[in-house]
């Protein structure tokens, strides 16, 4: 079974959101391409820390995209680590614990939609 990638899930959620938003909003390809690049970096982080799951959500009001990875831990000893680069590109980063005790790290990115 092929490994699930961040953007595979993001693309599915973006497509669902586009249906929900209807013709009032259009997806901007340039923004989606940037989000794809962020996902590629999140995949690297997920591999490094043996992530057990991805979760993606779109805020229906702000249209921001939240990408969560769950890991056993997250040790960041190097200030030049890729994590910090992705965190600096996001609107915010949140940490919490999932129901199963894994560390959930959520990156919130700007919307890929503009009003039509």
Residues 6+ positions from 47 with CB-CB distance below 8 Å: none
Kindly report the backbone phi and psi dihedral angles of residue 41, in degrees, each rounded to the nearest multiple of 5, phi listed first. Answer: -70, -40
Domains and CATH numbers, the chain: 6-115 (3.30.565)
pLDDT at 45 over 70: yes
Query: What average pLDDT score do residues 33-54 get?
Result: 95
Q: What is the pTM of this model?
A: 0.94
Percent of the chain surpassing pLDDT 70 = 98
> In angstroms, rounded to a whole number, what is the distance separating the alpha carbons of residues 17 and 29?
15
- Is the separation of the CB atoms in 36 and 23 below 8 Å? no
Question: Which pLDDT belongs to residue 2?
Answer: 53
pLDDT, tens digit, for every residue of 56-97?
999 999 999 999 999 999 999 999 999 999 999 999 999 999
pLDDT at 3 over 80: no
Burial of 11: CB neighbours in 10 Å, binned 0-12, 13-18, 19+ = middle
**Any long-range contacts for 75-78 (C-beta under 8 Å, 24+ apart)?**
none
Give Cα separations from 46 to 4, 30, 59, 74, 113 (angstroms).
11, 24, 23, 10, 26
Q: Which of 104, 102, 18 is nearest to 66 (CA)?
A: 104
């Amino acid at each position: 079974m092929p490994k699930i990638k961040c953007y595979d899930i993001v693309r599915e959620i973006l497509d669902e959101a586009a249906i929900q938003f209807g013709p009032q909003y259009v997806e901007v390809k340039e923004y989606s391409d940037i989000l794809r690049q962020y996902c590629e970096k999140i995949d690297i982080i997920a591999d490094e820390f043996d992530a057990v799951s991805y979760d993606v959500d779109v805020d229906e009001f702000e249209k921001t995209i939240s990408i969560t990875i769950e890991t056993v831990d997250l040790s960041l000893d190097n200030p030049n680590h890729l994590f910090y680069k992705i965190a600096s590109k996001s609107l915010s980063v949140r940490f919490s614990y999932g129901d199963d005790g894994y560390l959930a790290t959520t990156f919130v990115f700007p919307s890929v939609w503009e009003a039509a």
